[in-house]
Structure 1
Amino acid sequence: MRTIRPGRLSDLAELQQLFVDTISSVCRPDYTAKQLEVWTSGVNNEQRWRDILLNQFVLVALQDTEIVGFATLDAGHYIDLLYVHKDYQRQGIAQELYTEIEKEARQQQQVELTADVSITARVFFESVGFSVINEQVVMRQGVELINFRMRKFLHSR
């Protein structure tokens, strides 16, 4: 049985592991080994992760008791993180999490959602109505990572 609930500080270690495992396997076709290493090293910024859980709108998807995905909304309009466990890809989990994130943004009367999206995630974000604003080159530890600034306008329903 799958459920979605608010994230909590006690989820920290499991979310960090899911982040690393997902990037390392799912994003492998789109990024080099060095790029993946630099990207996953973000897991070591413990304060950023704690701040996310304390200050952002965080949802986790559970399959029974295992966390199989999570999404975060910062400042009501920026999707900071959206990851689905490597063993649970293509089962509608990202769609479920995204739907709840968008619902929260609409409740906060946001006019748009934005996200910085990996090459791997771009297709998913386009499928839920986002458009690319521009391609970005992000430098991390001297390594270039390509991602896309994307936006979706939220019109009242």
Structure 2
Amino acid sequence: MSIVFRKATISDLPEMQKLYIETIQAVCKDDYNKEQLKVWSLGVENTERWFEVIHSQFVLLAIIDNKITGFGTLKDGNYIDFFYIHKDFQRQGIADKILNELEIEAAKCHSSVITSDISITAKPFFEKKGFVVKAEQRNIRLNVELINYKMEKEL
């Protein structure tokens, strides 16, 4: 399995958005109920935000056989905004590699700490990678509560 990394472009958005929805629906279903998954997935409809991410963030794609298998984004050199691994490519080391590349990019930006808002599902992975929980957060979207964690790691 050969992974190629490259920066995302606008033309990658449809495939990234599909991966986003499928990952939330399939991978996070044990940690969030159907209503929570639906509300979370609706983030895909904020087209303006997705365009802004592509234009203003460091967006790294992991590609295997011309298919996006995961992506991570770094905002302002120190905040992981998006971090999703394709439902069919979980536990294959892709997340490790993307996170490593994001940390290298953060270091290039002279960041000493990297932060993110991490789902219940992803929390164990990030803890294994040295992130610590700073706060549990209860976000309300469309009258639905979504729990995540403000986490950070010193670089």
TM range (shorter): over 0.9
Q: What CA deviation, in whole Å up to 9, does each residue of 1:1-58 have, x standing for no partner?
A: 2111111111000000000000000000000000000000000000000000010000
* Aligned pairs for 1:28-67 within 5 A: 28-67=29-68
CA deviations 1:94-121 (Å, max 9, x no partner) are 0000000000000111010000000000
Aligned residue runs from structure 1 range 7-156, under 5 A: 7-154=8-155
CA shift, 1:139, in A, is 0.4
Structure 1: where are the runs of 5+ without partners? none
Amino acid of the structure 2 residue aligned with 1:84: I
- The amino acid across from 2:154 in the alignment is F
- Cα distance between partner residues in 2 of 1:145 and 1:115: 15
Taking structure 1 as the reference length, the TM-score comes to 0.97
User: CA RMSD of the aligned region, Å?
Assistant: 0.5
Structure 2 unmatched ranges of 5 or more: none
- Aligned partner letter, 1:39: W
Residue correspondences, number:
154
For residues 134 and 108 of structure 1, the distance between their equivalents in structure 2, rounded to whole angstroms, comes to 25
- CA distance in 1 between counterparts of 2:97 and 2:5 reads 8
Q: Percent of counterpart pairs with the same letter?
A: 48
Structure 2 residue matching 1:152: 3-state secondary structure: strand
Q: Which residue identity is paired with 1:127?
A: K
